Structure 1
Amino acid sequence: MRVMVIVKATADSEKGFVQSPENMALMEAMGKFNQELEKAGILRDGDGLKPTSEGRRVAFDGAARTARKGPFAPAGEQIAGFWLWEVKDMDEAVSWVKRCPNPMPGPSEIEIRPLYELSDLTGEAG
């Protein structure tokens, strides 16, 4: 089963990355965690995202398209980073997330969402 593991943004992540001893230690811990995921054969992809102040959104309404610049609020409803994992089930994904270093300096949240598989859409076995 493929899952997207979503690191939710915080007020800190929306300020952008600042080099500090604390942030560098966090990056080192996350790097080690990513190595564990690779060794286990789970990690397919992943990365951090720049703050929403550097992003854009395009709204669709029929044929109309409207673009707007960030930042987008509230911070906790935005995405700061992601992984794509291949796991046997949601329990395995939860188990791995619980091993993850806290991705933020303060309280944070990680969401796990399964990806659609072809069989979900066609009714055929994968």
Structure 2
Amino acid sequence: MPRYMMIMRATAAAEAAAADIDFDEVIEQMGRYNEELINAGVLFAGEGLTDPAEGFVVDFDSDPPTVTDGPYPDPAAIFHGFWIIEVDSTDEAKAWARKVPVGPGVRIEVRRVSETSEFPLDNPWVRKEIQWKVELAEKLADKARAEAERFLAPRG
């Protein structure tokens, strides 16, 4: 089944408008949307990102590459979070992207994620990547269990 990455981008005007919205309301709206993705069985991954001021850009136009701390001069280059969904078709990915609870000035860029099967499976690096994915999935599962235990444990 194809996977699609939905990348959230917002203009400066959209960010300014969002500053007037209660953060708990934003979390609730996104939580409901994420729960809908989970209940439909299509959410593969997703994360929100911190403020661009905490990030940096590595530009390979020079040697050695130049590192520029955020915030970035080009607001169009900033993205705020992403989801990876696993759906049957591009049309289904479009339908989910249209449902993201955001307002004017926000764009959701959607791109299909390449599948391992699109590469030559006899290539040693492709085979290594398959093994790395298995190992990463195990690590992520262990980390998620530990995080759930820490946050969901009864407080006393």
TM-score, length of structure 2 as denominator length:
0.65
Aligned position for 1:116? 114
RMSD, aligned α-carbons? 2.6
Task: State the secondary structure of the residue aligned to 2:101.
Answer: coil
Aligned pairs for 1:40-51 within 5 A: 40-51=40-51
Aligned position for 1:90? 90
Aligned position for 2:138? none
Q: 1:107 to 1:12 in 2, by over 3 A?
A: closer
Gaps of 5+ in 2: 123-156
Aligned position for 1:34? 34
Work out which structure has the larger RCO, using CA pairs closer than 8 Å and 6 or more positions apart in sequence: 1
- Is 1:10 the counterpart of 2:11 in the alignment? yes
Asked if the contact 1:58/1:67 (under 8 Å) is kept, the reply is yes
Asked if the contact 2:3/2:86 (under 8 Å) is kept, the reply is yes
1:85 Cα deviation from its structure 2 partner? 0.9
| Bigger shift: residues 114-123 or 61-70 | 61-70
Residue identity (%): 35
The alignment of Structure 1 onto Structure 2 pairs a total of residues equal to 120
1:21 Cα deviation from its structure 2 partner? 5.2
TM-score, length of structure 1 as denominator length:
0.79
Gaps of 5+ in 1: none
Letter of the 1:93 partner, please give it: A
